[in-house]
Amino acid sequence: MKFPVVSENQNVKYTPLAMLYHWENTRPDDVYLTQPVDGEYKQYTFAQVADMARRIAAALALRKLSAGSRIGVFAKNCAEWFILDLGIMMAGHVSVPVFASAGGETLNYVIRHGDIKLLFIGKLDKPAMQLPTIPESVPTVALPYVGIPAHTQWNDFINCDPIAHSPDREFDDIMIIIYTSGSTGEPKGVVHSFRTLCWAAANSIDSITFGHTDRMMSYLPLAHITERVLVEVGSFYSGGQVFFVESLDTFQRDVAHCQPTLFVSVPRLWTKFQQGILAKMPQKKLSVLLKIPFVRGVVQNKIKEGLGLGQTRLFASGSAPLAPAVIKWFYSVGIPICEGWGMTENCAYGTACLPFNKEKIGKIGQPYKGVDITLSDEHEILVKSPCNMVSYYLDPAKTAAAFNDDGYLRTGDKGDIDAEGFVRITGRLKDIFKTEKGKYVTPAPIEARIMENAAIEQVCVVGTGLPQPIALVVLTEEAQKQAKDELDTRLSSTLQATNSMLESHQKLDRILVIDEEWSIDNDLLTPTLKVKRHVLESRYRDVILASYTQSVEWVTINPR
């Protein structure tokens, strides 16, 4: 039976702490969190989670920090992070998550701007480079994983008696400050209260009917709003099980162990999954098998089981648009991916294609209950809901600029809404550029068409100051093994097909095939795997402005 956490008017009845105490009392021995360590799966029951959270609260109290102090967490996802967040809540403080990929400049900005009083450190992307950048003046605690230097180790930190009571928080208390991972400028600290964030989490879980028998993976960064709302805080309300990943190398193993019933990913990973499937079964053979009625179901089940998603009942994608061609492809193999849309400033709770509707592929769905969406005169998507942010931390000017006179959040996304209320994003306002001819080009729809070519893994359409826009693409690993002449033909066909659907000022002059993958490591992707368009344009300025003679050109960035 589902525990009623949302009232008839969609208000949240309980805080995450109240939910923890509920599960602790009603299901103390049920497993809540599963963390792989050295190939072994360590399980935490609700009773164990509550006990450890109380120890963290006690340890924080011993530090005699003032109420509402900012506590930083710099780590990859792990069970201890969930427990730590609960302890921070109990102690009356504010959680400040930091992406595990953050470099020294970003980390130090967050520490300074957020006035971090204590920093917990876990597994990181490049610890040898990242750890030395932490100011020595900031007290640090290492999470219980091998080789993490800190002032205090985890077991020493929690080696104290747990607090004896079960404190709760007010809904108007500040719960978290999430620093955006944007592609330009310094990150902004988005402030959410227990009311704003918990409203989004509880209503998300209610909308997808996620309950205590369900299972989720926590592997997308916990410093990102979607993982924080839907997976972490959502699990406090649903009481479902959460499983973590030990490393990138064990991802497939850990997903298979979890057998998630809800699986959320981002476009880059969905395309990676697609490429992995096609590497084992070429499209031509797959298409033939899917046309045979009594074989289709067997093939679809085999694909899902191979991904570890044989028991998944809801597949979802967010963070950035997933190319319609990719959604259609996954639908053909029995994986209907529901797209959702939101942003840090509205707790990632905006729209969703629930249930999946193949007639609406390419749209991000209808507004969730309690969310009001309208368009400005410039077709900017404006959103109002109880989960809109409280403010940008210490920045009243940017906070005021983020809302219009009617209290709607300015999203920066341009779009339209059909007669049934389904929203379509046509691009980011800041991504729209003007060519040399003075004509504006919106790159997102063009990029979506180019991504219909399965040989292409990444694409970015640019054109500021050029007579016509061009497309920069990175090929898939499998495509890079194919003959160049064959790829030239395929890419030329894609260019012609794309241009046939565009107005004259939008038509692409050429495709440039870049031999460098865009990644977080080379600073061309954000931690949520979005292309940093402005960084890319600056990095490849000479490549973009060079003279070319062919419609498809191969560009060497790092000659061997």
**Helix, strand or coil, per DSSP, at residue 414:** strand
Terminal alpha carbon distance of the chain: 61
What predicted TM-score, i.e. pTM, was given to this entire model?
A: 0.91
* Within-domain flag for 252: no
* Within-domain flag for 167: yes
210 in the same domain as 182: yes
- Residue 1 pLDDT: 44
Max Cα distance, the chain (Å): 75
List Cβ neighbours of 417 (8 Å cut-off, separation of 6 or more).
Answer: 373, 375, 423, 424
Q: How far apart are CA 392 and CA 177, in angstroms?
A: 9
- Assess contact for 144 and 80: CB atoms under 8 A: yes
486 exposed, middle or buried (CB, 10 Å; 0-12, 13-18, 19+)? exposed
> Which own/partner contact pairs does 257-260 have at CB distance under 8 Å and 24+ positions apart?
257/34, 257/36, 257/41, 257/308, 258/34, 258/215, 258/216, 258/217, 258/308, 259/215, 259/308, 259/310, 259/311, 260/215, 260/216, 260/217, 260/308, 260/309, 260/311, 260/312
- Assess contact for 32 and 49: CB atoms under 8 A: yes
228 in the same domain as 205: yes
79-99 burial string, b = 16+ CB within 10 Å, else e?
Answer: bbbbbbbbbbbbbbbbbbbbb
420 in the same domain as 446: no
* Within-domain flag for 507: yes
Q: Where are the alpha helices (DSSP H) in 172-266?
A: 194-207, 225-226, 234-238, 251-258
Last residue in a domain, options 426, 450, 478:
426
391 in the same domain as 461: no
**Helix, strand or coil, per DSSP, at residue 82:** helix
Last residue in a domain, options 400, 426, 452:
426
- Assess contact for 337 and 316: CB atoms under 8 A: yes
- Assess contact for 88 and 71: CB atoms under 8 A: yes
- Assess contact for 462 and 506: CB atoms under 8 A: no
Whichever domain contains 305, its CATH number is 3.40.50.12780
- Assess contact for 300 and 331: CB atoms under 8 A: no
- Assess contact for 440 and 432: CB atoms under 8 A: yes
∠ CA 403-406-410, rounded to 5°: 30
Angle between helices 16-26 and 79-90 (to 10 degrees): 110
Identify the CA nearest to 208 among candidates 307, 336, 315, 332.
315
State which residues of the chain have pLDDT below 50. Answer: 1, 560
Number of domains in the chain: 3
- Assess contact for 252 and 308: CB atoms under 8 A: yes
- Residue 559 pLDDT: 56
- Residue 428 pLDDT: 87
- Computed on alpha carbons and rounded to an integer, the radius of gyration of the chain in Å comes to 24
* Within-domain flag for 321: yes
- Residue 25 pLDDT: 97
134 in the same domain as 228: yes
Query: What strands, in cross-sheet order, belong to the sheet with 116-121?
Result: 152-153, 140-142, 116-121, 70-74, 94-98, 174-179, 189-193, 391-392
pLDDT digits (tens, 9 = 90+) for 189-225: 999 999 999 999 999 998 888 999 999 999 999 999 9
Q: Please identify which residue in the block is written with the tokens 């990943």.
A: 245
Whichever domain contains 209, its CATH number is 3.40.50.980
* Within-domain flag for 365: yes
∠ CA 295-296-297, rounded to 5°: 95
In 10 A of CB 146, how many CB atoms?
8
Q: How far apart are CA 443 and CA 422, in angstroms?
A: 21
Q: Which domain holds residue 488?
A: 432-555
443 in the same domain as 419: no
* Within-domain flag for 328: yes
Q: How far apart are CA 495 and CA 488, in angstroms?
A: 10
Q: What phi-psi label fits residue 432: left (phi over 0), alpha (psi between -120 and 50 degrees) or beta? A: beta
Last residue in a domain, options 404, 426, 448:
426
Q: How far apart are CA 554 and CA 311, in angstroms?
A: 43
What's the token pair of residue 89?
Answer: 């809540």
* Within-domain flag for 355: yes
279 in the same domain as 398: yes
User: Hey, which residues does 472 pair with through a beta bridge?
Assistant: 460, 512
List Cβ neighbours of 64 (8 Å cut-off, separation of 6 or more).
Answer: none
454 in the same domain as 376: no
Whichever domain contains 461, its CATH number is 3.30.300.30
- Residue 274 pLDDT: 93
Q: What phi-psi label fits residue 215: left (phi over 0), alpha (psi between -120 and 50 degrees) or beta? A: beta
What's the token pair of residue 526?
Answer: 């954000």
366 in the same domain as 414: yes
- Assess contact for 382 and 409: CB atoms under 8 A: yes
* Within-domain flag for 338: yes
Question: How many angstroms from the chain centroid is the CA of residue 427?
Answer: 18
155 in the same domain as 88: yes
479 in the same domain as 359: no
pLDDT digits (tens, 9 = 90+) for 301-312: 999 999 999 999
458 in the same domain as 400: no
Identify the CA nearest to 430 among candidates 307, 501, 357, 532.
532
- Assess contact for 517 and 268: CB atoms under 8 A: no
